[in-house]
Structure 1
Amino acid sequence: MPKLDQTESTLEIASTQGIKKGKTNFSKKFRDPHAIHPAANAVISVLLGILAFSCVFPFIYVIIISFTGEESIVRNGFELIPKEWSIDAYRYLWGMKEALFRSYGVTILVTILGTVISVFMITFYAYAISRPQFKYRRFFTFLAFFTMLFSGGLVPTYIVVTQFLHLKNSIWALILPLAMNAFYIIIMRTFFLKSVSESILESARMDGASEWRIFFQIIFPLSLPGIATIALFSTLGYWNDWFTALLYIDNPNLVPLQALLMKIEANLEFMRKNMDVAILQKSLFDTIPQESAKMAMVVIATLPIAVSYPFFQKYFISGLTIGGVKE
């Protein structure tokens, strides 16, 4: 009997060890291959946090400098924690509030209209050259690609816009020259070819859907990731553009924000370099916060788009998550 009890206990221990070993092998065999080790996850989180902070810190530093007194900047240079805080830069810009508000209105109008027009023109063009049944798709694809390599040139473009289209001192002069972008066309064409199933389009045609209905009810919703991308790029392009206004706009009522701020900075730089003029107007020159005003202009130009982006970010991300099409 003692031998029998010993044998049973040995078998029980062996079976228990076998079960544990089987569980271990099973867990190793079916372990998630995409799982990240906690230590690696912590290191990645720290690195991404440092990267995010390095991206945000320059803008925070610019904001701090914009609230620094001009005398403190001249005496101590740019400091992370200034010894003298001041709102003179914003007070100086507030003295031009009418021109600033007018330029804000022009910039917002141009950005909204330009983005909408640009998105529709680019998607129409890209969808046409992505369809195999379009007879001239190769020619128009080459035409779009050719403009990426060789542009029309500044002088011919100026002549076309001012002499042929008669858009000088017009709001459309700020919109139409930037409406088409060959690089965005290639992006959307590639997106249509790789992400939109041809079988879905054939089924819609068999059901009697027209090309317009196919585009707006099938192509457009399925293409939200690409459309959101080019819409974001177009918005930033219109918002930051000042060179177009420099070429085509002489009317002060149509000057966008970036062009206005560029002119203000140029005036400050002119006064700084021409000390004879500054001496004649010394009292005025001493009251102008030159360096902090430049930083305040950066804040004024950047803050609206930076504040509004988080509210539209969910639409941008949702577009990225619903674009999958399966056969």
Structure 2
Amino acid sequence: MITTRLSKQWIIHLLFILYMLATLFPLLLVFMVSITEEKSLLIHGYSILPQKIDFSAYTYLFHDSHVIVRAYGVTILVTIIGTIIGLLLTALFAYPISRKDFPFRKGLTFYVFLTMLFNGGLVPWYLVYTKYLHIDNSLLALILPNLLIGGFNILIMRTFFMNTIPPSIIESAAIDGAGEVRIFSQIILRLSLPVMSTIGLFNTLAYWNDWYNSLIFINSSEKYSIQYLLNKTLLDIQVLLNQTGNSGQSQLLAHAPTETIRMAMAIIGIGPIILAYPFFQKYIVQGLTVGAVKG
């Protein structure tokens, strides 16, 4: 009996190890391609073991390193501010509609669900932020639109509050004289670390990977996010390569490591955000299984 159970555990462990390797392999391949010489890559194709190591792609990208560093600073600042404010607003909205004694909980819950099904379209969305809120070409344009608060995150947090936090705890705190603000800040938030970490990870990834808001709202290169900067750099290279002529710039770009640059951009863009996972990993599984049916 014990031997059978151990063998099943080893099979499960082996499957997870294989899955982990399958997940890490594409990332490793992208990194290896990014440090492969361009000519060798064109001749031999993609390989996990480069025929000739060359860091020309990174040298090319970091030729104006201050631009990338500034874009990193913008992205990090926007990600931190947006994640913190988004978490707070999501919790402040989700907690009241999770309380059965809140009179408008059904109407507000339906309103949140409705926002997941319909939207006003691109033109009204753009006009609201530019004509009425006047946040175009500012860091607020990278924080407010779409990413700050979402209906899906509100419903996840509401489900966690309803299924995990017993109403008796709230009633006991109220009997002891605690107000709603104190109950929320000192009890609810402290008991909600799993879902807060999960939603925080979702927000962090959304802000870090966002390039669309920079494309729509930002005109100044000093306020570009890192993802938009890398995407714009790649598009500029492709446009210049497609242009005819024998100018010195065209000749220089003709020898640029265009294929390895794409992979180097992916590594530069994803590198720092990988460091965020260890801080959220402890609570991710527990937060994602909110409301799961126990067998």
Q: TM-score, normalised by structure 2?
A: 0.92
Out of 159, 167, 177, which is 1:198 matched to? 167
Aligned equivalents of 1:285, 1:193: Cα separation in 2: 58
Aligned to 2:47: 79
Deviations 1:186-210 (CA, angstroms, capped at 9, x unpaired)? 0011111111111110111111111
Q: 1:127 to 1:308 in 2, by over 3 A?
A: closer
SS of 2:89's equivalent?
helix
Say whether residues 1:115 and 2:115 are aligned partners: no
Alignment of 1:142-157 (within 5 A): 142-157=110-125
**Which of 220, 242, 245 in structure 1 is aligned with 2:211?**
242
Equivalent residue for 1:228? 197
The one-character-per-residue Cα deviations of 1:144-185 (angstroms, maximum 9, x if unpaired) are 000000022111110000000000011111101111100000
Unaligned runs of 5+ in 1: 1-27
User: Residue 316 of structure 1 aligns with which residue?
Assistant: 283
Identity of aligned residues (%): 41
For the residues of structure 1 that align with 2:280 and 2:83, how far apart are their CA atoms?
16
User: 2-side partners of 1:120 and 1:155: how far apart?
Assistant: 29
Query: Looking at CA atoms only, which structure, 1 or 2, has the larger radius of gyration?
Result: 1
1:23-42 aligned at under 5 Å gives the runs 37-42=5-10
Other-structure match for 1:267: 236
1:288 Cα deviation from its structure 2 partner:
1.2
| Residue identity matched to 1:316 | Y
- 2:52 matches 1:90: no
| CA displacement at 1:286 relative to structure 2 | 3.5
Residue of structure 2 equivalent to 1:141: 109
Q: Deviations over 1:220-276 (max 9, x none)?
A: 0111111111001100000000001111111111100000001011112223333x1
SS of match in other structure, 2:157: helix
Q: CA deviation at 1:280?
A: 6.2
SS in 1 for 2:49: coil
What is the CA distance between 1:283 and its match in structure 2? Answer: 3.0
Matched, 1:174 2:149: no
Q: State the one-letter code of the partner of 2:118.
A: F
Q: Is the 8 A contact 1:224 1:319 kept in 2?
A: no
SS of 1:250's partner is: coil
What TM-score results when the alignment is normalised by the length of structure 1? 0.83
The partner residue of 1:46 within 14, 19, 26 is 14
Quick check: 1:65–1:295 contact (8 Å CA) kept in 2? yes
Q: 1:261 to 1:163 in 2, by over 3 A?
A: same
Q: Does 1:165 align with 2:165?
A: no
1:293 equivalenced with 2:253 (yes/no): no
In structure 2, the residue corresponding to 1:133 is in which secondary structure? coil
The answer to whether the 8 Å contact 1:170/1:254 transfers is yes
User: 2-side partners of 1:288 and 1:126: how far apart?
Assistant: 51
How big is the shift at 1:77? 1.9
Does 2:196 correspond to 1:251? Answer: no
In structure 2, the residue matched to 1:63 is 31
Task: Return the letter of the residue paired with 1:244.
Answer: N
Give, in whole Å, the separation in 2 of the partners of 1:113 and 1:81. 40
